[in-house]
Structure 1
Amino acid sequence: MAIHVDISKLDELILLINNSVDEKQKRILLGKATEVYGRGGATHVKELTGAAFSTLHSGNIEANNCDEIVSGGRIRREGAGRKPFVEHHPEVIDAIEKIIDGQTYGDPSKVIHWIPQSMSLRKIEAVLSDEYGIQISYVKISQLLTDMGYSKQVNQKMLQVGEPSPDRDEQFGIINDLAKQYLETGDPVISVDTKKKENIGNFKNNGAEYRKSKDPRKVLDHDFPFAELGKVSPYGVYVLNSNTGFINLGTNHDTSEFAVTSIAAWWDICGKNTFPESKRIYITCDGGGSNSSRSRAWKCELQEFADYTGLEVMISHYPPGASKWNKIEHRMFCYISKNWQGQPLIDIETVVSLISGTTTQNGLKIDCIVDNNIYETGRKISDEELAQVNLFPYEQLGKWNYKIKPNCKD
């Protein structure tokens, strides 16, 4: 007995399948339907459902392979489907970092930051397209920013003690341009600073650690330091070229001599082997403390460093109220604090171990040494001593940017 098929009813069935089942079932059933329609069936199903010829062809093959349909629990075959965007464009993460670098707000000593409202997702999308040739939607950028540790915030007030320096933005631009120049030529670019002094002993350390339930670590109920244990001053060097760090763990005063001795220790242990051909170095630091822009001792010590290494030393200080934006704060110090949170710094060895054990997913590695030298405070630098410093102010904001060249040796 001949069976007559009403094509319009079959079309209704195909549309029902197209709107009702999952991707795998749809692919297989529509693929099989191309045979039912006969000659021109694939074109007819494509016009009805919008399915691609390649999808219909694959579905038809799967429909004729009964074993695969029964045994396969996947909607797509293994390895099928769209690959993650980052796999196709691994450079997108670095590009986004460069775009928002220096534009982030929040406490830079924390791992989470947020971007100002003026740097919108669509603006980042436009810069990625125009300057990096990366085509990506602002929705995907939002997802990547979340993965990178950035978040959207409603309130964006930033309080600063006193009036911000009118030269603040210009100085940030100078630092960015100089760092880019030195990095492009393969010369070392380092960010330096002294991390907060830490008491040594069984004192409470902010944060939490994993322990057995209801078994908190017992620590002293006061934070008065023990004279016999003392404090430590971690002076850090962060190398932008290689995402590596160095800590000189001082046990005495944080002076300009200590600061430059720490930089020299990094050069002797790590720097000269990493940059054997370099004749110059770029240092960014705060405008106060042991590396103050107004400190005569700092400049005299840097002259000794330049004479010792033969390096031409370029220095840039962050403007007042902006020292927390120094790279070392949010690329190294915050991770050290995170690594030892909740753990008492009971002795020097513990501090060294926790600092050396600090790593990140981006590959940060830190070397740490102990410096037991005595550094005298209150050292006075005479006009005659200062005159021996071979200092050349930069063409812009010379009070914060200057170069110290090695003195010629007889």
Structure 2
Amino acid sequence: MAIDAETLRQVTTRFEVLAPHLNERQRRLALAAEARLFGHGGVRAVARAVGVSETTVRAGVFELERGDDPLPVGRVRRPGGGRKSLTEHDPKLLPALLALVEPDERGDPTSPLRWTTKSLRHLADELTRQGYPISAPTVGRLLHRNGFSLQANAKTLEGDQHPDRDAQFNYVNEQVREHQQSGEPVISVDAKKKEQLGLLPSGGREWRPHGEPVKVVDHSFFTGPNVEQALPYGVYDLTRDTGWVNVGVDHDTAAFAVASIRRWWQARGHLDYQQATRLLITADAGGSNCYRFRLWKAELATLAAETGLTITVCHFPPGTSKWNKIEHRLFSHITMNWRGRPLTSHEIVVQTIAATTTRTGLRVDASLDPGDYPLGITITAAQLQALPITAHAWHGAWNYTITPPIPGSVPPPTTDSTTALQKRAQNLHRLADPRLTGMTRDELDQLAGELAADQAAQTEKRCYQQRGGPRRKSPGAGAAMLLTAADRVLVTVIYLRQICSQKVLAELLAINPTSIGNAIADTRTLLEQRKHIIGPTRLRCNSASQLSDFLDGSTRPAPAVLLPDLLTDPRLTGMSRQQLSDLLDQIRLPHDAQVEHRRYHRRGRHPLPGTRGGIFKQKLTDPERVLAAILYHRQACTRQALADLFQVSPRTIGNILIDIRPLLDQAGYQPTSATIRYRSAAALREAIGNDTPT
């Protein structure tokens, strides 16, 4: 039957109106119903009139003829319809994807994705490289389907915890509760992060006119040669919810920390607690208020003497500073208050801190502390013992009480920086005595002047390596060195002459032994480069008091027998000193080759150009190592006696014996047994030293 054009036009019009409102299946069934009404040729006629494929219309006719049940609401196709998913086509795809994002395995060790960000695009590229073509959106759908999502780091791990961590928290809480119930002040103290001043980028955002942000420098790590810094040290009153911040300009030392507490007490504490007799300080275990610092305790003793308060200090266990109340009750609000605002001056820092408030009633006062707090102030062990400190029964290192001195008693040792510097300068002048240095003061000054340029270059090189680039401050703008260049030469000469140990020098000059050791190591290298030989003397001082007495002329230590003169005695070595010298010359080259061979295997390569075998020397020189091996193999003394004589461990002596014995065998040395075996260093010194000429 022929289908007239008017009928087909009506079909076209109907579907132009209905098509936007029909889904895929509804449109197909509607076209099939029209085609069945036309009879033979209806499929082709409807398809051409509407502009669809005859296959689509024919598929709808077959569905109507089969009498399929209607689909559930919301479905267009029956379950299983459409293209199969990639995981069904390739079951290995999903395990390969999960292996890349597995948190424990961290991916294939040979895959370049192991060390890159695991973004969807990177994951898709890596799967494609492994033979699983896939797009980034598909990777995202598979990850979400398998329980993955974008996750940030969660700061929940605290590292190794001290076994008494929780018990110390309970103890601190008990101390706080007891002081608060008695009406005594309880404060939490800590130093905030050091801030550089200038037009530097600051985290956070602040409301400003559109398109007018505050312009700051793009590299905050370099602000010029004379950059100023602000060091906020906070004191938070746990009872009154008030804060005091002392903004320093020099160094964050223990003296600065206690000075901040002193300024809080003078400005606020004595007004808020007029009847106070005690003060409880809670602090973390590190920083300028570290429980190990002697200066911190000495300064607190001075504060207790000034205020008449009994000061109790409770430190939080190491690694738990975030539990300190001041961190989240004061410092966090200060940080939020100056967000998005460059700190260009100390006045802005002080005013911004003082303007910090909270809805719960926090009030903060701030002041600028222009005082100097130099580094290098040392409290000796004797001065620490003199302090009125009482350790608590529970963890006395973390919990202790400092009482004010009783009227009429000896006051605690002063820690005034000016006095300490003056006393150090006096002792350095005394150490330049020709009896100690072996040269006149003019000769010592001439040696210091000769090494001054090399010392400056050495210091500049070390600072360059430490900071990783050129200097950021002009010369002299940083902290002053504990020892001048001439002082470093002086202490090195004293040490190389073996008059006293580094520990004695550190105690006499009130400087950390590490600083003394570094100064000697640096200067010793320069002396060797210039072929200056500083020989030992027989004068020995075993304590700072003994050295001071000698310089005062009150006593003179007995001359010590030099160790080489003592141990090269023919009665111990079984040969004359000339024979021993010839044996040492014969062994020197094989021993140097042995040492270099061992160092090569340790470093795994040849030494870099310009290196000189390190700064710190061996504990024993090469002749001393050979001498120790000879004495041991002759059974002249025990291994422990040798360790005591050379002031090393028995294990070091054992390693020396392992290294030197093959060299002695190669040189044809045949040891003969000694007539006497000394089992202690004292017995050997007493027997041989008394007969050794001085």
Render the CA deviation track for 1:289-337: whole Å, top value 9, x for unaligned: 1100111010000000000000000100010110111000000000000
% identical aligned pairs: 44
TM-superposed CA distance for 1:156, in Å, is: 7.1
The amino acid across from 1:190 in the alignment is I
Equivalent residue pairs, number: 257
Q: Structure 1 residue aligned with 2:375, among 373, 377, 401?
A: 377
The amino acid across from 1:177 in the alignment is E
Q: Unaligned 5+ residue runs, structure 1?
A: 1-152
| Distance in structure 1 (CA, Å) of the matches to 2:191 and 2:274 | 26
The amino acid across from 1:204 in the alignment is P
Q: Structure 1 residues 214 and 156, CA, compared in 2 at 3 Å: closer, same or farther?
A: closer
Match of 1:322 in 2: 320
Q: Which structure 2 residues correspond to residues 123-142 of structure 1 after superposition, within 5 A? A: none
Q: Structure 1 residues 225 and 401, CA, compared in 2 at 3 Å: closer, same or farther?
A: farther
| Distance in structure 1 (CA, Å) of the matches to 2:191 and 2:351 | 18
| Distance in structure 2 (CA, Å) of the matches to 1:157 and 1:362 | 27
| Distance in structure 1 (CA, Å) of the matches to 2:347 and 2:154 | 41
TM-superposed CA distance for 1:226, in Å, is: 3.8
Match of 1:170 in 2: 167
Conserved 8 A contact 1:225-1:231: no
The runs of at least 4 consecutive aligned structure 1 residues that moved more than 6 Å come to: 153-157
Q: Which structure 2 residues correspond to residues 234-249 of structure 1 after superposition, within 5 A? A: 234-249=232-247
Q: Structure 1 residue aligned with 2:308, among 310, 330, 336?
A: 310
Please state whether the residue corresponding to 2:174 is helix, strand or coil. helix
Conserved 8 A contact 1:203-1:344: yes
Calculate the TM-score normalised by the size of structure 2. Answer: 0.36
| Distance in structure 2 (CA, Å) of the matches to 1:257 and 1:373 | 11
Tell me if 1:202 matches 2:171: no
Please state whether the residue corresponding to 2:306 is helix, strand or coil. helix
Render the CA deviation track for 1:248-291: whole Å, top value 9, x for unaligned: 10000000000001000000010001101010000000111110
Please state whether the residue corresponding to 1:316 is helix, strand or coil. strand
Calculate the TM-score normalised by the size of structure 1. Answer: 0.61
Conserved 8 A contact 1:315-1:401: yes
Q: Which structure 2 residues correspond to residues 144-223 of structure 1 after superposition, within 5 A? A: 158-161=156-159, 163-223=160-220
The amino acid across from 2:201 in the alignment is K
| Distance in structure 2 (CA, Å) of the matches to 1:348 and 1:290 | 21
Q: Structure 1 residues 375 and 249, CA, compared in 2 at 3 Å: closer, same or farther?
A: same
Q: Which structure 2 residues correspond to residues 11-410 of structure 1 after superposition, within 5 A? A: 158-161=156-159, 163-223=160-220, 224-410=222-408
| Distance in structure 2 (CA, Å) of the matches to 1:382 and 1:329 | 32
| Distance in structure 1 (CA, Å) of the matches to 2:355 and 2:206 | 15
TM-superposed CA distance for 1:229, in Å, is: 4.1
Please state whether the residue corresponding to 1:249 is helix, strand or coil. strand
Conserved 8 A contact 1:229-1:347: no
Conserved 8 A contact 1:201-1:226: no
Conserved 8 A contact 1:394-1:401: yes
Q: Structure 1 residues 227 and 177, CA, compared in 2 at 3 Å: closer, same or farther?
A: farther
Structure ranking higher in strand proportion: 1
Please state whether the residue corresponding to 1:257 is helix, strand or coil. helix
Render the CA deviation track for 1:100-129: whole Å, top value 9, x for unaligned: xxxxxxxxxxxxxxxxxxxxxxxxxxxxxx
TM-superposed CA distance for 1:389, in Å, is: 1.0
Q: Unaligned 5+ residue runs, structure 2?
A: 1-150, 409-694
Conserved 8 A contact 1:303-1:390: yes
Render the CA deviation track for 1:137-194: whole Å, top value 9, x for unaligned: xxxxxxxxxxxxxxxx999772124x11111101110111110111111100000000
Q: Structure 1 residues 352 and 174, CA, compared in 2 at 3 Å: closer, same or farther?
A: same
| Distance in structure 2 (CA, Å) of the matches to 1:157 and 1:255 | 29
Match of 1:142 in 2: none
| Distance in structure 1 (CA, Å) of the matches to 2:178 and 2:385 | 29
Please state whether the residue corresponding to 2:262 is helix, strand or coil. helix
| Distance in structure 1 (CA, Å) of the matches to 2:245 and 2:257 | 11
Q: How much is the aligned-residue C-alpha RMSD, in angstroms?
A: 1.7
Please state whether the residue corresponding to 1:247 is helix, strand or coil. strand
| Distance in structure 2 (CA, Å) of the matches to 1:337 and 1:347 | 16
Structure ranking higher in helix proportion: 2
The amino acid across from 2:356 in the alignment is T
